Amino acid sequence: MSDFYRGRRLRRSVGLRELVRETELRPQDLVQPYFVVEHDDPGAQLPIPSMPGQFQLGLQALQERVAKARDHGLRAVILFGIPDHKDEVGSQAYAAEGIIQQAVRRLKKAFPELIVITDLCLCEYTSHGHCGVIRNEYVQNDPTLELLARTGVAQAEAGADMLAPSDMMDGRVGAIRAALDESGYPELPILSYAVKYASAFYGPFRDAAQSTPAFGDRKTYQMDSANLREGSREARADIAEGADMLMVKPALPYLDVLSRLRQECDLPLAAYHVSGEYSLIKAAGEKGWIDEQQVVLESLTGIKRAGADIILTYFTEMVLKEL
Ligand code: PBG
């Protein structure tokens, strides 16, 4: 008799391995992000060069793409808007006929069961590309809260199922919650991008959403990537302000943060597998250096294992076809 652990006993067959598998990726865990562009041609489908397989979609093209993905089991989407007109205060974010409001109304009408989450931020709508109001080249926290709250109410009126503030202003979850409650939406949930790092992994997204800041960077509002404990403070603040779910973003470089949050809080957790994480895998896959499909499944399973209940990933459509 051997006196060492024989871990291989439970790895001997597919059946045994499946029997003891601890983590499973399920279709209902996945959220597909889409970029909706305000375009003269609603059928427009404009490729995003740094994100092969992802597009800026006109309203009609969005609906068609969702219809196809629904056939493969798509349950939830998060929408990002690219308006045809940007200004200093991002007014298209909260206009009743803003592109996201149009997209939400259209999708909810065509697919009442689809969960439509809206990213709630100003950077795609401001001429300077920052997530708030600028004074003296600095993003002003409190004046921005009012605009975020207006955006939340506009998205609620359009029929969104969940709002996801991603701006990283202090106090925004509370401000949005109060505005929703006052406007008759006390039951609309908020998924807060609570722990969002200032990350170079957002590069391809900023090409896609045309939201690269015209000056400076986002480091005065997004978190320093070196910090773990600060993530807990951000999470506690958002819980106190009324967040229903919390997000960690990006995903793979921050699995320690996710794992710690899973221990510390009992809200459902989301992780955003962001644009740069997508593009890295795509690029290596195109070169034939990795098995793209396997790397995607391994990455997403790792994110779940670390503690995510749901994952926002550009690979959702692809994975749904496989599951
Ligand atoms: C908007 C926002 C960003 C992302 C999600 N919401 C960009 C940013 O903060 O610069 C990034 C998503 C991705 O990279 O896939 N604030």
pLDDT tens per residue, range 108-122: 999 999 999 999 999
Calculate how far, in angstroms, residue 295's C-alpha sits from the geometric centre of ligand 1. 23
> What is the 2 CA–ligand 1 centroid distance (Å)?
53
pLDDT tens digits for 271-308?
999 999 999 999 999 999 999 999 999 999 999 999 99
How do residues 71-93 score in pLDDT, each as one tens digit?
Answer: 999 999 999 999 999 999 999 99
Distance (Å) of CA 137 to CA 129, 168, 211, 224: 12, 17, 16, 20
Inside any domain, residue 305: yes
Task: Evaluate whether residue 213 is within a structural domain.
Answer: yes
∠ at Cα 97 (35, 243), nearest 5°? 65
Task: Give the ligand 1 atom nearest the CA of 168.
Answer: 16
**Does residue 250 lie within any of the structural domains?**
yes
Ligand 1 site: residues with CB under 6 angstroms? Answer: 119, 121, 123, 131, 166-167, 202, 205-206, 218, 274-275
Q: Which domain holds residue 170?
A: 24-322
13: in domain = no
pLDDT digits (tens, 9 = 90+) for 207-225: 999 899 999 999 999 999 9
What whole-number distance in Å separates Cα of residue 241 and Cα of residue 236? 9
Considering only CA atoms, which of 188, 191, 197, 190 is closest in space to residue 168? 197
Q: Is residue 8 part of a domain?
A: no
Give the model's pLDDT for residue 323.
86
Q: Is residue 11 part of a domain?
A: no
Mean pLDDT of the chain: 97
| 299-to-50, 134, 287, 292 alpha-carbon distances in Å | 20, 38, 19, 10
User: In this structure, what token pair is assigned to residue 185?
Assistant: 């939406």
Q: 5 in a domain, yes or no?
A: no
Q: How many domains does the chain have?
A: 1
Tell me the backbone φ, ψ of residue 31, rounded to 5 degrees: -125, 125
Measured between alpha carbons, how far is 51 from 275 in angstroms, rounded to an integer?
Answer: 7
Q: Would you say residue 9 lies in a domain?
A: no
Catalytic residue at 249? Answer: yes
The total number of residues written for the chain in this structure? 323
pLDDT value at position 2?
Answer: 75
Ligand 1 pocket test, pick from 56, 168, 202, 316 with the greatest ligand atom count within 8 Å of Cβ, gives 202
CATH of the domain at 62: 3.20.20.70
| pLDDT(1) > 80 | no
Cβ contact 104:159 at 8 Å: yes
Which of the residues 196, 219, 282, 287 is marked catalytic? Answer: 196
Active site residue 219: no
Question: Do 147 and 130 meet the contact criterion of CB atoms below 8 Å apart?
Answer: no
Q: Where are the alpha helices (DSSP H) in 27-93?
A: 59-71
